[in-house]
Amino acid sequence: MTFRTKELTCFTLFAFIGLLLVSFIAPGAALTRKKATLDFVDSCLADRGAGYYSHPDGVSADATIDTTIAAITLIDTFDYPVTNETYDEALNVRNFIDNLRNKSDGDYGGFKNAEGAEDSMKATYQSLRLLDMFDATSTVNLSRFVNFVLESQDDNGGFTANPLANNTADIFNTYYALKILELTENLTKVHLGEVNTFVNSCRMSSNLYGGAPNATTESLVATSFAVSIYQEILTNESSAYLNFGFNNAVQDFLPDNTSPAGGVKDPVISEDPLLSTTYFAVKLQESLEFNLLDESALKNWILDKQVSDGGFVEGSLEEPTASSSLEATYHALMCLYLFNSNTPELDNDVPWLLSQDLLIVVGVITASVLIAVVIITIYVKRKNKIQL
């Protein structure tokens, strides 16, 4: 056997050994974006099922109703139908919700979002939604929540966050209040004409909506809530108010507030596009059956915000404090779901493990080559000594 033949044989042998090692070192099963996200959601579960944290460290924020309903909605949408029987933590989460219920004496009371907070319309609606998923609304006195809503109605027809928040009715709390009455089958207890007057008072000269009658800037999120009120509750008024002028305003607003990368901003909330505001933009577009947003660019913008723990980051990844959160993850996945309920992009492998696999392959092959070179060098030196 010639030297060149031996050299080639050694190199081939070690390259083969290197590739064989890669097959053992590299992960045996691919991790999809969906699996990574669901793992992130599971990691946010608080001890003993006491709700969900915003982030797995459990330090950035305590468990809240907001984060808990985000987590359970993601499980219900992307993993399996959540019921009292299928969800292992159902009883623990129900206890968590019950601990946030107003148990004081009186005819009305709501839920608070977290320990130490005040009762709020949003937390009350979300808590009742969760109890409804677990077929557990019969375990609470629904009339207290209905009275909580009725006591929160302002003179202008809108609703406040709770009965003590006087003269601060806004379009968001009005939506949650109406949904509570709808869920408890008590919509007839309010005069919907007064509600319609309030919602219309939030309409600005641009034909879009502000969060309240005294708003000075139209809001993407407020406009999305207004559309939801008309399409879900005030259905008889929908065609009158979601009219030609409104549609034209939306068709101008969305492109004007879309970044070149694909995200959409709400000028009232941030000068930069966020996952939350982008979610409401997509929801608004889908509700009106428009096709204004670049779906491909927007999806790429969303997917770029997924980080190695499986969660998504709300704002810029370049911020020093950038961190994944359940709320951002919820808005990211629900955006994709609104475009296509099958979410095929979530079946793709996560990019960070692909990068790690590539580094492993390169590292092992490089090591194999170096070992081969060392052995060949030793062989050549010994051969030369023998010849001498």
The three-state (H, E, C) secondary structure of the chain, written as one string: CCHHHHHHHHHHHHHHHHHHHHHHHCCCCCCEHHHHHHHHHHHCECHHHCCECCCCCCCCCCCEHHHHHHHHHHHHHHCCCCCCCCCCCHHHHHHHHHHCECCCCCCCCCEECCCCCCEEHHHHHHHHHHHHHCCCHHHCCHHHHHHHHHHCECCCCCECCCCCCCCCCEHHHHHHHHHHHHHCCCHHHCCHHHHHHHHHHCECCCCCECCCCCCCCCCHHHHHHHHHHHHHCCHHHHHHHCCHHHHHHHHHHHHHCECCCCCECCCCCCCCCCHHHHHHHHHHHHHHCCCCCCHHHHHHHHHCCECCCCCEECCCCCCCCCCEEHHHHHHHHHHHHHHCCCCHHHHCECHHHHHHHHHHHHHHHHHHHHHHHHHHHHHHHHHHHHHC
Per-residue pLDDT, averaged over 64-71, amounts to 97
Phi, psi of 45 (to 5 degrees): -65, 130
pLDDT confidence bin for 4, thresholds 50/70/90: low
Look at residues 127, 133, 76 and name the one whose alpha carbon lies nearest to residue 334: 76
Query: What tokens does 92 get?
Result: 């623990």
CB 53 within 8 A of CB 62: yes
Q: Is residue 367 part of a domain?
A: yes
pLDDT value at residue 52: 96
Bridge-based pairing of strands 119-120 and 111-112 is antiparallel
Is 66:117 a contact under the CB 8 Å cutoff?
A: no
* Position 4 in a domain: yes
Could you report the per-residue pLDDT of 115-172, keeping only the tens digit for each?
999 999 999 999 999 999 999 999 999 999 999 999 999 999 999 999 998 779 999 9
Query: CA–CA separation, 218 vs 180, rounded Å?
Result: 26
- Predicted local distance difference test score (pLDDT) of residue 240: 95
Pair 36, 74: CB distance under 8 Å: no
Range of the domain at 374: 1-31+357-388
Total structural domains within the chain: 1
pLDDT tens digits, one per residue of 19-48:
555 555 554 457 999 999 999 999 999 987
Q: Give the C-alpha separation, 296 to 283, whole Å.
A: 16
β 324-325/312-313 pair status = antiparallel
Is residue 24 included in any domain, yes or no?
yes
Calculated CA dihedral for residues 104, 107, 113, 114, nearest 10 degrees: 0
Residue at 377 is within a domain: yes
**Any idea what the Cα angle at residue 193 is, between residues 127 and 129, rounded to 5°?**
10
Residue 69 near residue 111 (C-beta atoms within 8 A): no
For residue 379, being part of any structural domain is answered with: yes
Average pLDDT over residues 250-276: 97
Q: What value does the mean pLDDT take over residues 265-269?
A: 97
Helices 220-232 and 192-201 meet at what angle, rounded to 10?
Answer: 160
Inside any domain, residue 45: no
Quote the pTM value.
0.85
Amino acid at 7: E
Tens of pLDDT, residue by residue over 174-217, are 999 999 999 999 999 999 999 999 999 999 999 999 999 999 99
One-letter amino acid for residue 263 of the chain: G
- Give the pLDDT mean for 356-363: 43
pLDDT in tens, 292-336: 999 999 999 999 999 999 999 998 888 777 899 999 999 999 999
CB neighbours of 112 closer than 8 A, spacing ≥ 6?
Answer: 65, 100, 102, 118, 119, 120, 123
In-domain check, residue 271? no
Q: How far apart are CA 327 and CA 52, in angstroms?
A: 11
255 and 284 in contact (C-beta within 8 Å)? Answer: no
Q: Pull the structure tokens for residue 263.
A: 């995200």
Q: Is residue 209 in a domain?
A: no
Average pLDDT of the chain to the nearest whole number: 88
